Amino acid sequence: MRNAPTILHLDMDAFFASVEQASKPSLRGKAVVVGGLGPRGVVATASYEARVFGVHSAMPMGQARRLAPNAAYLVPRFGLYRSISEQVMGLLRGLSPLVEPLSLDEAFVDLEAGAVAWDAASAQLVGERLRADIRAVTGLSGSVGLAASKMLAKIASEQAKPDGLVLIEPGTERAMLGPMTVRTLPGVGPATGDHLRRAGITTVDEIAEAGEDELVRLLGKAHGHALYAMALAHDERPVVAEREAKSVSVEDTYDVDIHDRLRVGMEVQRLADRCVRRLRGAGLSGRTIVLKVRRYDFSTLTRSETLRGPTDDPAVVREAAARLLDSVDTTGGVRLLGVGVTGLADYTQEDLFAQAAAGAEGAAGSSAEEDVAEPVTEQEAVAERRWPAGHDVRHAQYGHGWVQGSGLGRVTVRFETPGAPGPGRVRTFRVDDPELEPAEPLPLVPGGSVGGVRA
């Protein structure tokens, strides 16, 4: 482990919900919950105001509504979140060549590798400057942890929440960790925590006192060794820059189980096309097509097929996904479908026409796939007119706004923009109003950009 706190962990505060609050003046300081709004939806992120009521990520949305019935419930805007994440990651890469993103809103940074910090004082200055830069560029807050290891830096950022900075001085780690609950350590979830509690171990100090042999007896060799080392604050893991993507995939969960085999097939085709769009957007291709099916009884099946070479051809992926579906029994109903591509490469083997036709009746099979593709596009266009709660719209007369809700042939819109001094006006329209259309998000700060487009 290092002798200086030069590993930084950044965790954006309630990221999705904070983006929504920043872009919608009427929601600032209010309870906001972002996630799937259907009967089977789950919470992706809850604002700190919503957490007061017990709402947290991964909670079923129905339970969240019971706990916080007056919160604003919004559908995620992942395109906007990714754009803001790229801005934040750009600031981190300006500090060091070693940046290890863990998700859209979280990353480790090796400050020593960037020669921007070498002791506690310089690391503290870098952390404070980073937080200020993030606020200036995005209007959002992030919490920073600084320590001599990745494990401790992450623990420090958790202690810093929300909107703070915590630095753990080398030499103080054992004293700081000792009284903390065992759940503080990475890899100790509810099941492991309960197992340790039944053995009389509830704090990190008690893990260290139990000894390595006892932990191995309780948890097994690998987990026992790792947990004992963490309790002693030993963590030699390096910051690894830009982990390569191992797969590209998309999936949908359906509010009502799908029983019709034709509908299941059309959904798989639609998912295959979405997966290819994401694959091409990343400049990748892949050899192995994967189908995921979660059935009515929650059993999950995966099927895969490996091609002769990498591809980003939608016809090839649709054909392979259809063949995989043929091997799955869906008569009881389907609640989730997914299509993915693995074995990624940054090139495409062009001559794959034989693969596209494999398992089909020559050219007739190809044209059948094309016939399926057209109605799917129309379905996606209709879905856009459903006006998801929280998404951006523009009205020819009233300007930019966002959807508060829709139903019974009506859509309610609040017309306001980021940076406005107060809540905007609310108007209700027919869902087919020709003057109302979906819009791109606006930058959160004046002069900022979204998706590379500057305001």
* Active centre residues (catalytic): 106
Measured CA to CA, the distance from residue 317 to residue 290 in angstroms comes to 9
Distances from the Cα of 40 to the Cα of 20, 281, 390, angstroms: 22, 29, 19
- Containing 291, the helix (H) or strand (E) segment is strand 285-295
Measured CA to CA, the distance from residue 272 to residue 314 in angstroms comes to 7
Please give the structure tokens belonging to residue 448. Answer: 């900022």
DSSP state of 360: S
Helices (H) and strands (E) in the chain, counts: 15, 19
The residues with which 425 forms a beta bridge, in sequence order, are 415
Measured CA to CA, the distance from residue 31 to residue 68 in angstroms comes to 8
**Contacts of range 320-323, beta carbons closer than 8 Å, 24 or more positions apart:** 320/289, 320/355, 321/268, 321/269, 321/271, 321/272, 321/289, 321/291, 322/265, 322/268, 322/269, 322/369, 323/358, 323/359
Query: For the residues of 302-343, what is the DSSP string, one character each?
Result: EEEEEEEEEE--HHHHHHHHHHHHHTS--TT-EEEEEEEEEE
Nearest to 376 by CA among 263, 223, 241, 242: 263
